[in-house]
Amino acid sequence: MTDLTDAARAILRGNDRQGPGGRYTVPNGRVYPFQWNWDSAFVALGFDTFDRVRAWQEVETLFSAQWQDGFVPHIVFWADDAGYFPGPSVWDTGREPRTSGITQPPVAATVVRRLWDTALAAGEGDAFWSRVERLYDQLLAYHRWFAEVRDPEGRGVVVAMHPWETGRDNSPEWDAPGEPIDVSKVGDYVRRDTGHLDAKMRPTKLEYDRYLALVQYGRAQGWDHHAIAAGNPFRVADVGMSMILLRANRDLRDLGAMLGRDTGAIAAWIARAEAGIGWLWDEAHGCWCSRDLLTGRRSGFVTSASFLSFYAGLRDPAKDAATLAHLARIGARVPYLMPSLDPADPGFQMIRYWRGPVWAVVNWMIGTGLAETGHAEPAARVKRDTLDLIARNGFYEAFSPVDGTGSGGDDFSWTAAIWLAWVAGDRSAV
């Protein structure tokens, strides 16, 4: 354990960078050489176990790239890397610093709430007071952007405009909604990911064509997010982002209360989500899943995001029982929880991106939610499996739930961070 903890710290230090906006961490220097939104949030959890100041810097640097309307991009291009595709010239957002034009799952408020709690527990609240106040205002603007731009029907869900926004890039949940995307004008391009990683682990050419077509559409709208939301060919209410935002709003509300702020707007967002998120429940399959806003069609897939309802703080005996039954069934089928796709699904692929592998960051959210809601046994299983995968195989981006094989990049920052959060500084109650 000590050796692995030292190794995890070394990975975070090795992936540490200095940019114009401050210190930030790259997920993996060879494949992902910039700052990613939700990666940085999870990385802060790891830094918080041994370098509290550096943890705060990670989130502050991310939010230094926030747009004026509250939007926080999924990539910040702090440095040049001509070999990366799609780089800043492809996105062409016209912003400084250069950024992408889409966002990612909003885990930052939950992380900042934890950073603040640990600072208070260490008796260092005064040292971080001005920092938490500033971040609170930035987080509030970010969540307001979601409420005003990414919930067009007022259902209390998050409507993704690009599969990359969901963090689950090529989940089968996006296959049917992606079919109408016109890829005829994408043109030729050279991917970087398949130059560093085995192509059988990565999204297909068709999936990547769709991703780029959506980037071209956003660019054609001048990255006006209201215009994109009104006409984008891909509009999917993502169960993962919706659950993560609901949890983040609860944490932001509590943080605001501790700071003596008016949290009425946040409470209204929470109430709207609690009233409307049931739209993402699939009664026929007994699972939480995403739903195509354009057709109303439910995906019907049981994915790792299906188990985030506990993390979101939702309580419904029938839905909880059905969700736990899926967890037990899947847990009996594979040695390691939680695969990103139900292994009983005919499309399950144990090492292809988001169509089978286990992701430590998703497991951290699932395990945290299960523990907080009193489901101690499955919570312990999720945590144990995650740590065992890392201990046996190293700090990979993801892992096969069947044999533990590492998938994606190695020496991966957020995997190291989850090890640290769950071993070196566990405050998750798991």
Q: What is the arithmetic mean of pLDDT over 66-92?
A: 95
Residue type, 124: E
Chain length of the chain: 430
Catalytic residue (one of 148, 169, 274, 372): 169
pLDDT at 82: 83
pLDDT at 403: 97
The H or E element that residue 249 is part of is helix 239-258
Q: What is the CATH number of domain 22-320?
A: 1.50.10.10
pLDDT at 196: 54
- Crossing angle for the helix pair 108-121 and 37-47, to the nearest 10 degrees: 20
pLDDT at 359: 98
Give the predicted TM-score (pTM) of the model: 0.96
* 179 labelled catalytic: no
pLDDT digits (tens, 9 = 90+) for 314-363: 999 999 999 999 999 999 999 999 999 999 999 999 999 999 999 999 99
164 pLDDT above the threshold of 80:
yes
305 pLDDT above the threshold of 70:
yes
Q: What is the arithmetic mean of pLDDT over 412-417?
A: 98
Q: How far apart are the first and last CA of the chain?
A: 17
pLDDT digits (tens, 9 = 90+) for 113-142: 999 999 999 999 999 999 999 999 999 999
* Secondary structure (3-state) at 423: helix
pLDDT digits (tens, 9 = 90+) for 264-284: 999 999 999 999 999 999 999
Rounded-to-integer distance, Cα 11 and Cα 311, Å = 27
* 207 labelled catalytic: no
pLDDT digits (tens, 9 = 90+) for 173-210: 999 999 999 999 998 877 666 555 555 666 788 999 99
pLDDT at 204: 85
Structure-model confidence comparison of residues 426 and 382, the more confident one: 382
pLDDT at 138: 98
CA proximity to 248, closest of 61, 396, 37, 91: 37
pLDDT digits (tens, 9 = 90+) for 286-303: 999 999 999 999 999 999
Give the percent of the chain with pLDDT over 70. Answer: 96
Q: Would you list the domain boundaries of the chain?
A: 22-320
Rounded-to-integer distance, Cα 428 and Cα 77, Å = 32
Residue 182: both structure tokens together = 């016109």
Catalytic residue (one of 48, 342, 397, 411): 397
Give the percent of the chain with pLDDT over 90. Answer: 90
Lowest average pLDDT, out of 7-21, 189-203, 207-221, 394-408, goes to 189-203
CB-based contacts of 248: which residues, under 8 Å, 6+ apart? 106, 107, 108, 109, 110, 143
Angle at 145 between CA 139 and CA 150, to 5 degrees: 130
